[in-house]
Amino acid sequence: MWGGRFSVKPAELMQAINVSIGFDKRLASQDLAGSRAHAQMLEAVGVISADDADAIGKGLDAIAAEMAGGVFPYRDEYEDIHMNVEARLRELIGPAAGRLHTARSRNDQVALDFRLWVREACDRTVAQIEDLQRALLGQAEAHADALMPGFTHLQPAQPVTFGHHLMAYVEMFGRDAARFRDARARMNECPLGAAALAGSPFPIDRARTAKALGFDRPTANSMDSVAARDFALEALAAASICATHLSRLAEEIVIWTTPQFGFIKLSDAFTTGSSIMPQKRNPDAAELTRAKVGRILGALTSLMVVMKGLPMTYSKDMQEDKVPTFEAFDALELGLTAMAGMARDLTPVRERMAEAAGSGYSTATDLADWLVRTLDLPFREAHHITGAAVKRAEGLGLDLSELPLAELQAIEPRITDDVYQVLTAAASAASRMSYGGTAPAQVRAQVLRWKELLS
C-alpha cells in the first residue's frame, strides 16, 4: 500500500507484530464516517470531482453493508482497518478509490477514528451510570427510613438509613458521569486534516469535516493532532475512578450478604452455588465486578507507559493504545450493567439492619450532643463523660440505652431521664436533619433532587 519505496514484502515476523486489523476493526464504523466526511469535503473544495465523490460514497455504503452483514473480507495483508477499507473500496469502484486518501494520512485518520470511538464510549458510559443511579434511587426511596449502622474503620459509628447509604453512591456516580462529560468536551476537536504531522497543502476545509463529524472545532496544531492520546488517558482515568466506586459498592454487597451481616439478600439471578457445598449462595456478580477494577486501572497504566517517552509526533508504539482502551471500557460497561442489575435485585433485611444499627454504642455521639445542648457543656467535656458512660455500659454488658439512670448520674449528676429519648438508633437517625444528613426527610429530599437531575 505504500508503493515503490519497498521491493519485497515484510518478513513474516514483521507482519505478525505490525498487523492490527484483529483489534482495530472495532473502529470500522468510525473509519467509514471519517472517510465519508473527508470525501464530501474534498468535493466541496474542488479537490476531487463530483463523480469521484459519488463513487466513493456509494462504495463506502457498500462496505458498510458488507460489514453489517458479516461478509466484509478483513485481510491481514492490509494491516489495519484503514487500509482494509481502502483496498476493498478500490476493488469495488476502481481508481477513484485512490483519491480518497488525498490530504490525509493514516496518522490523522487513526487519531480521528480512535477519538470518535472514545467519545462514543464516554456517551455510552454516562448512560449506563445514569441507569445505575436510577436503580439506586429506587432502593433509596423505598428504604429512606430503614435503619442500619454507619461505619468508620468498618466499626459501628452512628446509625444511618439504608437510603442515605445508597445515596452516597448516587453522588459518587454522579461525579463519575461528570468526569466523562468533561473528558468528552475536551476531546471534541477534530484531528482530521492534520495529515501526517504538518498539515496539508490542499485547500481543505477542516471546519467542515469537524462539523460533519459532530466536533466543536478542528484541532489547532497539526503535530498535537496526531501525537496526542491524552483524550484516551483522561477517559481511562475517569473509568478507573468509576471502577473504584463500583468496586467499593461491590465489596459492601459481598459483606452485606454474609450470614454474619445478613443486611441484604440477592436472588438466584445474581448469585451462584458451590460444586461441593450445597448450602452456599455466592455473590459472584459482585465479586467479578469488584475484580474488573484491576483490568481498568491496568489499562490506564499501560497507556501511560506507552506514551511517556514518545517524541513528537506519531510512533508505531501508539498502535498499542487501542486494546487496553477497548478492554477497559468493555469491563466497565459490564460492571456498570451488572451493578445496576444487582441494585434493582437486592432486598434489604430491615429487621437485621435495624438491630445492628444500635450495636457498638452507636448512639454515643447523641449522648455527647445531648450533654452539650441540655447541660451547656463544652463538647470535649461531654465527650469525656460519654466515654465514661460507654465504659460503664460495656462493663455491665449493656447498651447505652439500657444503662440505668443512676449509673449515668454517677458520672454526671445533672443527667435526667430525658436523655433516653436520644439513645435509640431511630431517634439518632431522625435527628440528623442538617442538609445532606441521614434523616429520612433529608434522604427523600435528595432522592427528589436526583430524580429531577436525571429526568
DSSP-based helix, strand, coil % in the chain, nearest 5: 70, 5, 25
Alpha helices in 28-105 (DSSP H): 28-44, 50-68, 81-93
What span, in angstroms and rounded, lies between the C-alpha atoms of 193 and 34?
11
| φ, ψ at 196 (rounded to 5°) | -70, -45
What residues contact 375, with CB distance under 8 A and at least 6 apart? 382, 412, 414, 415
Q: Which helix (H) or strand (E) holds 249?
A: helix 230-256
Secondary structure (3-state) at 236 = helix
The amino acid sitting at 365 is T
What residues contact 168, with CB distance under 8 A and at least 6 apart? none
What span, in angstroms and rounded, lies between the C-alpha atoms of 392 and 400?
9
Give me the half-sphere count of Cα atoms (radius 13 Å) on the Cβ side of residue 59.
Answer: 24
What residues contact 3, with CB distance under 8 A and at least 6 apart? none
Helix crossing, 81-93 with 28-44: angle to 10°?
Answer: 60
Assess contact for 135 and 111: CB atoms under 8 A: no
What span, in angstroms and rounded, lies between the C-alpha atoms of 407 and 163?
35
CA torsion through residues 196, 197, 203, 207, sign: positive
What span, in angstroms and rounded, lies between the C-alpha atoms of 339 and 291?
13
Write out the catalytic residue numbers: 153, 274
Please give the grid coordinates belonging to residue 154.
468498618
Q: Which residues pair with 147 in a beta bridge?
A: 161
